[in-house]
A and B are shown apart, each in its own frame.
Chain A
Amino acid sequence: MSADRLLLTLSDSSDSSDGHSRIEILNTGGYRSDGRRQYELRTISIDLSPQGSGADGSASLTHGLTQVNVCVFGPREAKMRSQTYHDRANVNIEVAIAAFSASERRKRGRGDKRILELSQTLKSTFEPVIQTSLYPRSQIDIYIQVLQQDGGLLQACVNATTLALANAGIPTYDFVCAVTGGVHSTSPLLDLTLLEENDLPNVTVAVMPRSGKITLVSMETRLHVDRFEEIFRLAGEAGKVIHREMRKAVKDRTEQLVASMQSVGRPSTGADVGDNEY
């Protein structure tokens, strides 16, 4: 009964211009609009098989309905000598959002400020994580293609990039795992869909799971300081859960590769996959 009243008051507000009926974010039974519970994350599917085109590493990741593909090239010779650093590699990230990825078709050009900001954020997130000092005067190119958007875009890009780098064999200090969090009146929610992102204050947090340190925080909506603290800590912990999934995917892939190497008749190198604590 109280849920009906909630629906009634929400539909009175005049700012919803697209005409669809208001869906409640969290009902009294504790279920969200897509049937998840408060702290439940969406289904993650990871595909690390090569995507043709000779990329050195690639990954395709989905969080529920958000799908992102990443290809990594490098370290390779830089296209422009002026962009190189004499003591480390230059990390170059380019993001392309497909016009069909959102519910309304919208073509975004290269110079779109939101896309530029996204690339910059990702670049400064991964520059300290990749061991760039091993490859001076070279360039590592990371190309991100967004195929479907249903909330958590930055989160998906960060996770997919981490996987693609691991797939390419580029040495990194740790994984970077990102997750979004939001607050609905006083209840925190995790891994928001597009609907929830548009309605609730939300924050994207990326952590390095081994040390628990935070490497990226991005919040663009108004939130009280006390609420922020709560959701910030929660998102940090949730990052570790995502790490488990990512680690499993990388491990499975590596085991697959090792198995296929051994079946060709090469002598095994003596180091077992399962030995590594990583």
Chain B
Amino acid sequence: MTIVLPGERAPARHVNLKLGPGLFQNSNASTSTGRAAPSIFATRAGTLNHSSNGSKWWIESNARRYVPAAQESVIGVVVQKQGEGFRLDIGTAHSANLDGLAFEGATKRNKPNLKVGSLIYGRISLAHKDMEPELECFDAQSRKSEGFGELKGGFLVRCSLRLCRQLLDPKYFLLPLLGSLFPLEIAVGLNGRVWISSQDAKRTIAIAQAIEAADPDAQGMDEDGIRTLLEDLGRK
């Protein structure tokens, strides 16, 4: 678990090397004195991680602003109806486009009627740095909704990007802990937004506070801390 800072060299070496976020390959073709491999530099501050066979390397760091990447699930808010589709705010530099037909079972006659301000859980289908991101509300392989689409009711919590990734990790304690205490529905967007829905307002507020407390940006509470917090809230 080495911590690297921007500009430091990373010892990433493999035949089929794949670099993830935070690493940059500087190919020195100019020095032809027989250097073995082009050097890999870190561009972010964080911990250096790699996959078990050493082919994939990346830097684990935290941020609050999301940069879109393809096939990631995000939560967006409709800001405008535009032609055949909608414009959504997903917290990135540009608004995203969602076509009216990008839903399961949508035809020209049967398009979903979304109001300005609705919450949508979608998958980024196109994320190129020169174009506006595009969303779709169905799974890539099965073409079925698989949970994507409009999120009704519930509440939206904002958090850091690191926490979203942690929440999606099955080994992280928070969601199993919350699930064992009360039934809840949750949609995690990788853009720093989490939608939660529970039986009543009191429980939803408790879940929102637990998520905000576990955020590494804020207090970064561990399991015992969250348990105590929830007990205090339950008693009130």
What residues of chain A have their CB less than 8 Å away from a CB belonging to chain B? 86-87
Contact = CB atoms under 8 A, between A and B. Distances in A.
Interface in B93-124: 116
Nearest to A87: B116
3 contacts: A86-B80, A86-B116, A87-B116
Nearest to A86: B116
A87 B116 CA distance: 9
A84 to B, nearest CB: 12
Interface string B24-41: 000000000000000000
A132 to B, nearest CB: 16
Contacts of A87: 116
Interface in B77-95: 80
Main secondary structure of the interface of A (DSSP, over half): loop
Contacts of B116: 86-87
A90 to B, nearest CB: 16
B210 to A, nearest CB: 35
Contacts of B80: 86
B157 to A, nearest CB: 26
A86 B116 CA distance: 9
A86 B80 CA distance: 9
Interface string B150-172: 00000000000000000000000
Interface string B108-151: 00000000100000000000000000000000000000000000
A87 B80 CA distance: 11
A247 B101 CA distance: 55
Nearest to A85: B116
Nearest to B116: A86
A187 to B, nearest CB: 49
Top 3 A-B pairs, shortest CB-CB distance:
A86-B116, A87-B116, A86-B80
A81 to B, nearest CB: 11
B176 to A, nearest CB: 41
Contacts of A86: 80, 116
A86 B81 CA distance: 10
A200 B152 CA distance: 55
Interface in B28-68: none
B35 to A, nearest CB: 54
A137 to B, nearest CB: 12
A87 B115 CA distance: 11
A261 B116 CA distance: 44
A87 B81 CA distance: 13
A32 B199 CA distance: 64
A87 B78 CA distance: 14
A124 to B, nearest CB: 22
B83 to A, nearest CB: 15
B88 to A, nearest CB: 15
A78 to B, nearest CB: 16
B82 to A, nearest CB: 12
A87 B117 CA distance: 12
A201 to B, nearest CB: 42
A260 to B, nearest CB: 44
Nearest to B80: A86
A87 B79 CA distance: 12
A170 to B, nearest CB: 24
